Chain A
Amino acid sequence: MKVRLEFRGGAELLVNGVTQHTLDLDDNNNKWTVARLLTWIRDNLIQERPELFLQGESVRPGILVLINDTDWELLGELDYQLVENDNVLFISTLHGG
């Protein structure tokens, strides 16, 4: 299953400054929820200081998540089930303005 990830607003600094990532997730056995995706990102993409991205099971407060340009708060947050070609965007609000 193809999923696109995007990091902006300073969140890209957590993943080596790379804003766009295309993933090919193996979905034979288990469904991919956002919760599972976050753990995957922590284990596979985050270079250092994972606490700047995750706090407990969710993203650190202050990082906004949009799935296909819609606020994840309208989509069930961690429980949202990813489908083919979903675009998941993380925007940090914690950087200077």
Chain B
Amino acid sequence: MPIQCSTGCHKNAVLKRPKTGDALCKDCFFWVFEEEVHHTITAAKLFTPDDYVAIAASGGKDSTVLAYIMKLLNDRYNYGLKLVLLSVDEGITGYRDDSLETVKRNEQQYSIPLKIVSYDELYGWTMDRIVEQIGLKNNCTFCGVFRRQALDRGATLLKVDKIVTGHNADDIAETVIMNILRGDIARLQRCTAIVTASEGTIPRSKPFKYTYEKEIVMYAYFKKLDYFSTECIYSPNAYRGYARAFLKDLEKIRSTSIIDVIHSGECFSVRDGVKLPTQGICEQCGHVSSQPVCKACVLLEGLNKGKPRLGLGKTSKIREHLKRNDENLEGVVASDADTHKINIPKTINIKQLDF
């Protein structure tokens, strides 16, 4: 016997909502999904009329659904937004070039213009070439650090007012757990914010902050949205994978766990008097940084000097040594990195596979 929709609309239910346990039919699910995102957007006042908004688009499920929903809600509720798709080409053959084809189709399907910025043009290095230099162990550090800035730079080029990313509730809960495991209090405080903005940067927001991954995937499936779903060829076992598997196990036992973890992350407060790193501006490139020189510039300097391991240890230590003795740098950095058995990329706070 099919189960009927919880709303009493007399249609057969097609899915059980993880957040509430309700059984919903396809139409009621679409409606609830869209309205919840609309509610998130309006409650947090994410946009104002005439905003020019860049949708960070990777071709994956989250950003594809985000592009579709932004277009739909902008039309339905007259947000008055001008939308643009912004993609980063990391230069990963067989992964990003294929997913960019999806974004190009999205450009046509949703009639939203597309801008692609590449690592090659921004930094002079593609990920394929970086992997040739660094190998498969720390490459995600480079990719994550560069991507965060690439989005900002692309957004600056386009002169947009705001950026939206497809981070969903599961992603944010994973980040909370990762930041707790790393003891990164500064990021733990920031990572649950629905909007992140600091002096001189373009504000970024997450309209899917309260949207479960399961519902995004179901929505994409039932709406037959076109997305790309191959794992990045360079990161089969990134650190995030462990947090993700742990959360999925928790969700299986109790489906509200995801929202609960986000809530816990929001509730952490730091005792008065604890010194947190302050965010300043990189003296070389002018981007936001908690160090005098940002991680991207340090990593880039390492690559260009043929010392790609530069920047994989502690940034402050490296700068010290860099000042003191440029020549002995390689040895110092290598020994510093060797003492960290598990090399956790400290700078990566956002998703590594997508954005």
Interface residues of A (CB under 8 A from B): 8-10, 13, 60-62, 64, 66, 69-71, 73-74, 91-97
Contacts and interface: CB of A to CB of B under 8 A. Distances in A.
B216 A74 contact: no
A65 to B, nearest CB: 11
Main secondary structure of the interface of B (DSSP, over half): mixed
Interface string B43-75: 000000000000000101111100000000000
A9 B351 CA distance: 18
B232 A96 contact: yes
A96 B60 contact: yes
B251 A61 contact: yes
Contacts of A9: 61, 217, 229
Contact of A97 (B16, B23, B62, B222): B62
22 contacts: A8-B221, A9-B61, A10-B230, A10-B231, A13-B230, A61-B248, A62-B248, A64-B214, A66-B221, A70-B12, A71-B14, A71-B16, A73-B15, A94-B244, A96-B58, A96-B229, A96-B231, A96-B354, A97-B60, A97-B63, A97-B166, A97-B227
Contacts of A97: 58, 60-64, 166, 168, 216, 227, 229, 353-354
Interface in B199-220: 213-214, 216-218
Interface in B157-175: 166, 168
Residue of A13, A62, A92 contacting most chain B CB atoms (<10 Å) = A62
Contact of A93 (B14, B214, B231, B245): B214
Interface in B222-254: 222, 227, 229-232, 244-245, 248-249, 251-252
Contacts of B23: 74
Interface in B1-41: 2-3, 12-16, 23
Given A9-B229, A10-B229, 10 more contacts: A13-B230, A60-B248, A61-B245, A62-B244, A69-B14, A70-B14, A71-B13, A93-B214, A94-B244, A97-B354
A91 B3 CA distance: 22
A9 to B, nearest CB: 5
A95 B13 CA distance: 26
B230 A91 contact: no
